Amino acid sequence: MSRWEPNASGRLQKAALELYAERGFENTTVAEIAERAGLTERTFFRYFADKREVLFYGSGALTEFLVRKVGEAPASLPALQVIAWALASAGTEIFEERREFSRRRQSVIAANLELQERELVKFATLASGLAHALDERGVVPATASLAAETAMVLFKFAFERWTKDVSGARTLAEIIRESVNELESVTTGRPAAGD
């Protein structure tokens, strides 16, 4: 096997998702993932700490992206709309091209309680980063935290709807905006935009 492995992390992620779908997360080993990807276990551990992290790779980069987008959002937007704008940007710039991967990843996570708990930790980390970014924009800390936590619930809800939409008719950004409108309808008692 050569020392240089092009796109090793992507190959490992693809192999892991295939095996998790075939055998289940619990019944898949790192050795099997590496073998399926045509790589060594040593190479696996250069990219991932364990087999869970294959599913959460890039979380730090996502947080950085969202924090940057919060800083770039139009100054006129209220806190929740700022985060929704950042999340919609992520939908367009990051997730849309990874729709099938996201769909498969979501089904693996939904089938495993340990992975669901890890996903909650990821959302808590994202919420903390977003609250800090809002604070940097001058939003009152309590409001920043409430907006960030609410946005994570919205994102989770929209992401699940997007991965279950097998027609692929709507983008994640559209579903995020629709979810924000639905939340505003719930909190104000007025019909959501488009109703």
The domain over range 8-54 is classified in CATH as 3.30.565.10:
no
The residue with greater pLDDT, 5 or 157, is 157
- Give Cα 92 to chain centroid, integer Å: 12
> Which residue has tokens 């997007």?
162
Q: How far is the C-alpha of 130 from the C-alpha of 83, rounded, in Å?
A: 7
User: Using one digit for the tens of pLDDT, what is the confidence trace for 114-158?
Assistant: 999 999 999 999 999 999 999 999 999 999 999 999 999 999 999
- Give Cα 186 to chain centroid, integer Å: 24
CATH topology for 58-188 is Tetracycline Repressor; domain 2 (1.10.357)
Inform me whether the pLDDT recorded for 3 exceeds 60. Answer: no
Q: Are 125 and 63 in contact (CB under 8 A)?
A: yes
Q: How far is the C-alpha of 63 from the C-alpha of 70, rounded, in Å?
A: 11
Q: Are 68 and 136 in contact (CB under 8 A)?
A: no
pLDDT at 191: 76
User: Using one digit for the tens of pLDDT, what is the confidence trace for 165-178?
Assistant: 888 889 999 999 99
Domain extents for the chain? 8-54, 58-188
User: DSSP letters along 96-142, please?
Assistant: GGGHHHHHHHHHHHHT-HHHHHHHHHHHHHHHHHHHHHHHHTT--HH
Q: Same topology for domains 8-54 and 58-188, yes or no?
A: no
- Structural tokens at position 116: 């669901």
Q: Residue 56's closest CA among 66, 47, 69, 67?
A: 47
Q: Are 12 and 48 in contact (CB under 8 A)?
A: yes
Q: Are 130 and 66 in contact (CB under 8 A)?
A: yes
Q: What's the whole-number mean pLDDT along residues 81-106?
A: 94
Least confident of 35-44, 47-56, 59-68, 185-194: 185-194
Q: What's the whole-number mean pLDDT along residues 27-55?
A: 96
Inform me whether the pLDDT recorded for 103 exceeds 50. Answer: yes
